[in-house]
């Protein structure tokens, strides 16, 4: 194997923890250490020999520390190919030693972004020398070792001890890949911030970045691998109790939180199954909201995920324990509620923060390409248009808006039946809108027949024919909200007027694929 002995190293780290994991090994193999600034002082304070970088290069730091390591003596030492005769002659003429190891972690730019630091001050946390050192060493992995994470100090120490102060080519390649990922991630955060500052949502070159949070047991199915990444420092979810979450659990949780985020503070309960809501209520009373969500489709709710927009209290915990749910997500749990809920062995209890923000952008990966779009934040773009002869009451208007809002989060074709501020039937994911109407009506008639006679219905897109509207009206629906825009709108409105029902056009479509 291609082993390279380490004789000289540059250490320049923003995070100075864990240096004690590698400095003893470097000392054991007589590695000369070069450093600057706070890292130099830290290494000296730990009683290890260290050469100050400005003395090594013969060139002092300048521009308030913006220029430290950008010097030919440094980069020629890193980038030379040891088997290249011409390179070695150049080094000899200029009396430049080889540099075999670079240990660098970068200024905490992401941390400062998350701290909401002012844009002008953030600029000073854009690292220049660090990424340049990492990229130079990573490029020359055949001869140079690069370490970009404090988590890899132990691995480097183990590698050197196993190889008598040297590193293998396989180790250097792995560390090179990690270093390029580190600088790429860093640059992506900076790019994202700059684009956001000048309000460019979809630039010519789009970078999607993320940090691995954990390996999941599997993906959507057992034969698929699954992983969780985050693109912000705080994921916003805290597991209080239970076994690890699966890929599908996370998918359902994020779907439920997205709906909850569309409600007022502390209002609402959502039950999710396969990323589709099967019951939604916007009532402020969490017990009533849960009961209304559950009764919408208790069969589908079995084994689902419940998202509650407030802290779970004892009374609700007792009710939750009567049904098998895989995950309960809320803004906290009282001590009494925890005691009750922990009686179920297979439950997962998750706390989600008030600041969690999902889906500013949506991506759909298809082979080597991906589609990108804004997230669907608008409910009704323009004023509502009442197109029927009969007008809706204020209470009916509120119910229509609630049902239309739920439609945003239901897979198309979506039909949502609601009574007051709770769903009573949901038809989703059908190629035919008529089929979605039939499913929504069947569920309402099966589980809450007493509420369908004074219910409203929402459709995520226009009705191409009167048949879907007639299906809803025949079941007992009194008011319907839809975008409008079909060539058959006149026939649809005629059917509504003949039945004495109400129809409202929004002019805003809400497909979800």
Residues with catalytic function:
139, 274
Please name the residue that has the structure tokens 């905490």: 108
Confirm if 454 and 424 have CB atoms less than 8 A apart.
no
Spatial CB neighbours of 498, under 8 Å, sequence gap ≥ 6: none
Q: Which two tokens stand for residue 468?
A: 């879907």
Rg (CA), the chain: 30
Distance CA 445, CA 449 (A): 4
Confirm if 126 and 189 have CB atoms less than 8 A apart.
no
Spatial CB neighbours of 39, under 8 Å, sequence gap ≥ 6: 11, 12, 13, 16
Distance CA 319, CA 330 (A): 15
Q: Which of 131, 112, 132 minimizes the C-alpha distance to 123?
A: 112
Q: Which of 498, 500, 502 minimizes the C-alpha distance to 482?
A: 502
Spatial CB neighbours of 335, under 8 Å, sequence gap ≥ 6: none
Q: Which of 348, 134, 332 minimizes the C-alpha distance to 241?
A: 348
User: Phi first, then psi: what are they for 346, rounded to 5°?
Assistant: -95, 5
Distance CA 472, CA 462 (A): 14
Q: Which of 105, 175, 176 minimizes the C-alpha distance to 138?
A: 176
Q: Which of 324, 323, 318 minimizes the C-alpha distance to 338?
A: 318
Q: How far apart are the first and last CA of the chain?
A: 51
Confirm if 71 and 47 have CB atoms less than 8 A apart.
no
413 upstream amide cis, omega within 30 of 0: yes
């Amino acid at each position: 194997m291609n082993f390279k002995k380490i004789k000289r190293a540059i250490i320049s780290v923003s995070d100075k923890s864990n240096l004690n994991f590698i400095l003893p090994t470097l000392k054991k193999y007589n590695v000369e250490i070069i450093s600057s600034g706070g890292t130099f002082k830290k290494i000296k304070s730990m009683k290890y020999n260290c050469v100050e970088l400005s003395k090594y290069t013969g060139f002092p730091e300048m521009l308030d520390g913006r220029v430290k390591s950008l010097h030919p003596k440094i980069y020629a030492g890193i980038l030379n190919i040891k088997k290249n005769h011409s390179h070695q002659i150049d080094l000899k003429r200029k009396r430049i030693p080889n540099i075999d190891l670079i240990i660098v972690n970068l200024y905490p730019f992401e941390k400062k972004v998350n701290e909401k630091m002012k844009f002008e001050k953030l600029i000073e946390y854009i690292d220049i020398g660090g990424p340049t050192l990492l990229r130079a060493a990573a490029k020359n992995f055949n001869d140079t070792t690069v370490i970009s994470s404090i988590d890899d100090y132990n691995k480097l120490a183990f590698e050197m001890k196993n190889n008598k102060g040297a590193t293998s080519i396989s180790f250097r390649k792995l560390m090179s890949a990690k270093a390029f990922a580190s600088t790429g991630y860093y640059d992506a955060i900076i790019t994202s911030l700059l684009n956001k500052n000048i309000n460019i949502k979809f630039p010519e070159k789009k970078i999607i970045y993320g940090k691995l949070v954990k390996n999941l047991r599997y993906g959507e199915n057992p034969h698929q691998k699954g992983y969780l990444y985050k693109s912000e420092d705080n994921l916003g979810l805290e597991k209080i109790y239970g076994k690890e979450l699966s890929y599908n659990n996370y998918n359902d949780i994020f779907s439920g939180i997205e709906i909850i985020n569309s409600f007022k503070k502390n209002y609402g309960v959502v039950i999710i199954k396969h990323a589709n809501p099967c019951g939604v209520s916007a009532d402020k009373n969490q017990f009533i909201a849960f009961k209304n969500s559950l009764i919408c489709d208790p069969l589908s709710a079995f084994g689902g995920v419940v998202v509650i927009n407030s802290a779970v209290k004892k009374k609700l915990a007792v009710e939750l324990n009567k049904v098998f749910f895989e995950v309960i997500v809320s803004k906290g749990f009282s001590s009494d509620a925890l005691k009750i809920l922990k009686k179920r062995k297979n439950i997962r209890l998750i706390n989600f923060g008030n600041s969690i923000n999902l889906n500013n952008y949506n991506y759909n990966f298809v082979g080597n390409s991906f589609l990108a779009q804004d997230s669907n934040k608008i409910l009704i773009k323009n004023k509502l248009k009442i197109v029927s002869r009969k007008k809706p009451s204020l209470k009916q208007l509120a119910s229509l808006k609630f049902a239309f809002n739920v439609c945003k989060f239901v897979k198309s074709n979506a039909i949502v039946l609601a009574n007051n501020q709770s769903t009573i039937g949901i038809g989703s994911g059908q190629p035919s809108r008529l089929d979605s109407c039939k499913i929504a009506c069947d569920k309402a008639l099966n589980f809450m027949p007493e509420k369908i006679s004074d219910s409203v219905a929402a459709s995520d897109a226009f009705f191409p024919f009167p048949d879907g509207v007639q299906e809803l009206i025949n079941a007992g629906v009194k008011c319907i909200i839809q975008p409008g825009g079909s060539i058959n709108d006149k026939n649809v409105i005629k059917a509504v007027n003949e039945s004495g029902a109400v129809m409202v056009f929004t002019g805003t479509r809400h497909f979800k694929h």
